[in-house]
Amino acid sequence: MKIHYYLGWFTEYFPVKLEKSLQEDIIERKSLVMISSMPTTHEIDGSTEREWLDHAGIKFDEYHLINYRVQKEDAQSLIQNASAIFLLGGDTVEQNVFLKEYGLADTIRQSSAVVLGASAGAINMSAKWLCSRNFGYDVEESNLYEGIGLGNFSVLSHFDLENNIEMVRSELALLSEELPVYASNKDCALRVKGDHLDILGDVYLIAHSEIKKLDETLWS
């Protein structure tokens, strides 16, 4: 049964509930493959995300970072043999372009590894996501991007919802007619195991232009 984690960004480390869930879900720990969100540089190296996992007591025999310094064929092989795949936070658009150029979406979808994404990485795990100036992107016009599509929904991760709730609802109204949108702030997570979805922290569902806060269910 496939397991996917859509994470926000964390003030320090994973909350205890999330650590416990990850400890039970990530059983095989041979190889962690991290996918950069700034693949042209080493500025994004996964050190923060590794610290989160280390603090949770989740350590791997091997760690690999995929960026443009890794050949496409090698990147595909690393993902095929991964115990866990972590799409790193950072530049959502740049990561999206990289995933398409390297043809990694199909390989990730086919993988039986636990897949995690933080902030930008979580957004790119979506079926589709909205790139908008109102969400902090340096664009003149809003545009829909195709994500990996691990689930038939969209994610807005790591956004100040409490102070922008009506703007978010309005901005995502059209997309929410097509797909449910899960929007979260920092220190939040969605866990999808098979057809079951669990919530950690302040997560909102936007569907058919209506928005509602979801109850926390992860280890409740």
For the chain, the domains span: 3-213
CA distances (Å), origin 115, targets 28, 32, 146 = 13, 10, 18
The two tokens of residue 71 are 């050949």
Write down the pLDDT at residue 220.
Answer: 54
Distance between CA atoms of residues 10 and 179, nearest Å: 26
Task: Answer yes or no: are the C-beta atoms of 154 and 175 closer than 8 Å.
Answer: yes
What pTM, to 2 d.p., does this model score?
0.96
Task: Answer yes or no: are the C-beta atoms of 203 and 191 closer than 8 Å.
Answer: no
Q: Which distant-in-sequence residues (6+ apart) come within 8 Å of 85 by Cβ?
A: 32, 33, 34, 35, 79, 108, 111, 113, 114, 115, 116
Write down the pLDDT at residue 166.
Answer: 87
pLDDT in tens, 121-163: 999 999 999 999 989 899 999 999 999 999 999 999 978 877 7
Task: Answer yes or no: are the C-beta atoms of 19 and 55 closer than 8 Å.
Answer: yes
Strand pairing of 203-207 and 210-213?
Answer: antiparallel
% of the chain beyond a pLDDT of 90? 84
Q: Which residues of the chain have pLDDT under 70?
A: 219-220
Q: Which distant-in-sequence residues (6+ apart) come within 8 Å of 111 by Cβ?
A: 79, 80, 82, 85
Among 211, 178, 105, which Cα is nearest to 148's?
105
Write down the pLDDT at residue 42.
Answer: 75
CATH topology of domain 3-213: Rossmann fold (3.40.50)
